[in-house]
Structure 1
């Protein structure tokens, strides 16, 4: 082969690689993670030193909940570029989600050494540790939160991290000040219309009445594959899923959009159009939803879907999947709302950044759940977070009995179950059961007047 031919061949390979990377990146951005993974695996076989291919392969595997493959890809990427901050952060996030919070902290620390003013990394790092008094990291967070050159997102993350640190050391007033500032910034970046949410809930209640269910009784898909776990965010849904996923017949599916997406496609004018659909159509809706879940379920009999917002759609589930178990997680309203306020959600939960809106949204959720109990008696198991903390075995036995599952001692050792947990409770569910989060609100009582007013009579529910 002469020099000109070799040059053309080299240019051809570079063009093919560029096209392959573009196709893989498009698949990743489109959420086609299986396709993206296949393309990136092909790229790294032919070009094993391609940093972006290894990094994005890890990201695709992370989305597919293949933690081992994601970890391998991130380590390969770090071998090529040890000082890549995004890869260090992605690896730390994965390690935290899989229960290795100590190892995650070390990688977050490495990332912070390279990028010491990245407030989002500080925020993520703060979730992996409990701060102690005289911790030098608190000094760093004070300095970061006071840095006026930070953009608004940076200030938000810095104040969330500082608020968490100050709460850890018992400086509750200063902690709440930081959390208030973080939430004020977060609220400016989201759209939330509380009156519209009230109207939406009213339309659902009006549509899914007793007559609706009576006319469609006995219809639906017979599958019992999904186990739905619903409730407010921060109400214990991750804990209940971890208990269930410790059972050999249950795969923990996490927070999934499958139900909402199925309804959006098959009842595009929900909830109004739901009344015009009949038994056979609801059976098809149930089949479509289960089919989506089966794509991610392993060989287990059941898969959990713990998207909290699914409580809006239980009327559809009640008709479309009459054999599906629904578990409702309840927790002290004021503790639930405070826990939401203390946390930044990467997507959704737009109601969580204002105390009055939080209380209003909780009332909507409570109203809907009361309605589902009235029109679907016996279909929903209520679980109280505080009772689960107090009597883990008793509540675990109730859960398994309700789901038709045989008792397994492993369910009491849920914190040992190795699975990827991508929610804010990923650290807590790696610990034995504890009551640290019960009555957390008492530390912030004087700051919660707007929340108590918005909750109304619910403010004292479950508080003894």
Structure 2
């Protein structure tokens, strides 16, 4: 093939990526790599396309080829390999090793230091995390994320005044970007909250959310009408086919509910049982709705039992690759409450754990956290209230459909008397009681925005937190009360 044709393949592959057709792009990049295997950037682009298409092992191989062939920015290949290993393949030690290789070849690799600090956060290693963030600040002294993460460790260690001073001084010096300022303001809000300066804390996170919303593309903002249409369609959906029987003890344990309702804590406690492995926030179900069942949920009604069986096989194959030795795995995606009809079609015997919490505590907790583009509705209290009302409406519908297959775990009762919530939970999951579930510390990485909180012994300090912001939340409280949701 001539040189212009090789370049034409690259142009076509880039266009496929812009169209969201990552699989097609990967095929084109693979053809390019076969034609010019010495071209390192082609292997890097193939890795990117495979990752976007969720071909994770192929992506790792492509990035390795890029490194072997002398890609111009090797730290970027190591960073991308680390993201795949940590977030999608649950291989945290291997991810940490990749990031250390990234900073070895480029000590100024800010993203690598930030991601390395994040892994140390997840592993519960504050000293190592602190050192990584300090190195990030050497690469970029104005990194809002590094400063906010350092402050979070200070708050975790009881040094909220030091955290507030660090972030306050940094904000006065001026942030490099709106996103950096938002990260620091969220961190400042958490530090002020820990110090009991509630009015100032709420002001800080209100400004943080305003700035975070400002950098988000219009298509990434929360659309109330669109979300209501989705919930309407799910509620109006007639009965659908199912994949047929599948043993309950070989079915994943699904955990869902509102974000910030205790799902991570429930998974961690459940995974201390010797027969349970924490799967974390698996992407299998949401990806299925995009890749196999679009337009969703309309496509569900036209899907045959045979097609659902094929989708179940696809889910189980992915699960087996991640956890080949696990007896039973949890799938903790809070927003899977949107997909319970699909889950029950795939796994008719599926047990659904639904985490519940005081709605005002849930709302204030979501408002105080920086989610980036992952959650669209948390920028404004009114949007969180709207999302919450739609969630409650849909969960009422699912209970009418699935009855005893949905088990509520109350966060506020769990932190006060864990045994009283865990004993019926284990029985619901078909598991014998095990005292290990009452252990006070997790034994593996905790990937959540509240990883430092989850690592602390159980406490009830977050229950009733909304009362510190009663004045600011009065409108939300009235709205929920009028709807009978309090």
Which band: TM-score by shorter chain? 0.7 to 0.9
Change (3 A) 1:267 1:51: closer
Task: Give the Cα–Cα distance (whole angstroms) in 1 for the partners of residues 309 and 166 of structure 2.
Answer: 57
Out of 25, 38, 45, which is 2:61 matched to? 38
Structure 1 residue 275 corresponds to structure 2 residue 301:
yes
Task: Determine the structure 2 residue equivalent to 1:8.
Answer: none
Task: Determine the structure 2 residue equivalent to 1:299.
Answer: 325
Structure 1 length-normalised TM = 0.86
Out of 170, 174, 188, which is 1:162 matched to? 188
Task: Determine the structure 2 residue equivalent to 1:92.
Answer: 117
Change (3 A) 1:251 1:354: same
Which sits farther off after the overlay, 190-199 or 233-242? 190-199
Change (3 A) 1:88 1:331: same
Change (3 A) 1:108 1:218: closer
Task: Determine the structure 1 residue equivalent to 2:339.
Answer: 313
Structure 1 residue 76 corresponds to structure 2 residue 105:
no
Out of 110, 120, 129, which is 2:145 matched to? 120
Task: Give the Cα–Cα distance (whole angstroms) in 2 for the partners of residues 348 and 70 of structure 1.
Answer: 22
Superposed displacement of residue 291, structure 1: 3.0
| Alpha-carbon RMSD | 2.9
Superposed displacement of residue 361, structure 1: 0.9
Change (3 A) 1:403 1:447: same
Task: Determine the structure 2 residue equivalent to 1:4.
Answer: none
Superposed displacement of residue 382, structure 1: 0.5
Superposed displacement of residue 349, structure 1: 1.8
Task: Give the Cα–Cα distance (whole angstroms) in 2 for the partners of residues 457 and 423 of structure 1.
Answer: 33
Task: Give the Cα–Cα distance (whole angstroms) in 2 for the partners of residues 28 and 385 of structure 1.
Answer: 36
Change (3 A) 1:114 1:398: same
Which sits farther off after the overlay, 16-25 or 399-408? 16-25
Task: Give the Cα–Cα distance (whole angstroms) in 2 for the partners of residues 146 and 348 of structure 1.
Answer: 28
Structure 1 residue 239 corresponds to structure 2 residue 265:
yes
Secondary structure of 1:376's counterpart equals: helix
Return the structure number with greater relative CO, CA threshold 8 A, min gap 6: 1
Change (3 A) 1:262 1:414: farther
Task: Give the Cα–Cα distance (whole angstroms) in 2 for the partners of residues 168 and 15 of structure 1.
Answer: 55
Secondary structure of 1:447's counterpart equals: coil
Which sits farther off after the overlay, 342-351 or 81-90? 81-90
Task: Determine the structure 1 residue equivalent to 2:403.
Answer: 377
Structure 2 length-normalised TM = 0.82
Task: Give the Cα–Cα distance (whole angstroms) in 2 for the partners of residues 273 and 39 of structure 1.
Answer: 34
Change (3 A) 1:311 1:296: same
Out of 128, 136, 149, which is 1:111 matched to? 136
Secondary structure of 1:170's counterpart equals: coil
Task: Determine the structure 1 residue equivalent to 2:479.
Answer: 454
Superposed displacement of residue 40, structure 1: 4.2
Superposed displacement of residue 44, structure 1: 5.9
Change (3 A) 1:269 1:27: closer
Structure 1 residue 203 corresponds to structure 2 residue 233:
yes
Secondary structure of 2:155's counterpart equals: coil
Task: Give the Cα–Cα distance (whole angstroms) in 2 for the partners of residues 356 and 313 of structure 1.
Answer: 24
Task: Determine the structure 2 residue equivalent to 1:6.
Answer: none
Contact 1:226 1:290 in 2 (8 A): no
Contact 2:270 2:437 in 1 (8 A): yes
Task: Give the Cα–Cα distance (whole angstroms) in 1 for the partners of residues 106 and 170 of structure 2.
Answer: 27
Superposed displacement of residue 127, structure 1: 3.0
Write out per-residue CA displacement over residues 64-122 of structure 1, whole angstroms, 9 at most, x where no aligned residue. 22111122222333344444332221211111112223321222123224422111222
Secondary structure of 1:269's counterpart equals: coil
Task: Give the Cα–Cα distance (whole angstroms) in 2 for the partners of residues 40 and 199 of structure 1.
Answer: 41
Task: Determine the structure 2 residue equivalent to 1:327.
Answer: 353
Write out per-residue CA displacement over residues 292-313 of structure 1, whole angstroms, 9 at most, x where no aligned residue. 3333223112221111111111
Structure 1 residue 360 corresponds to structure 2 residue 383:
no
Task: Give the Cα–Cα distance (whole angstroms) in 1 for the partners of residues 226 and 160 of structure 2.
Answer: 47
Change (3 A) 1:71 1:219: closer
Secondary structure of 1:295's counterpart equals: helix
Task: Give the Cα–Cα distance (whole angstroms) in 1 for the partners of residues 184 and 451 of structure 2.
Answer: 21
Structure 1 gap segments, 5+ residues each: 1-12
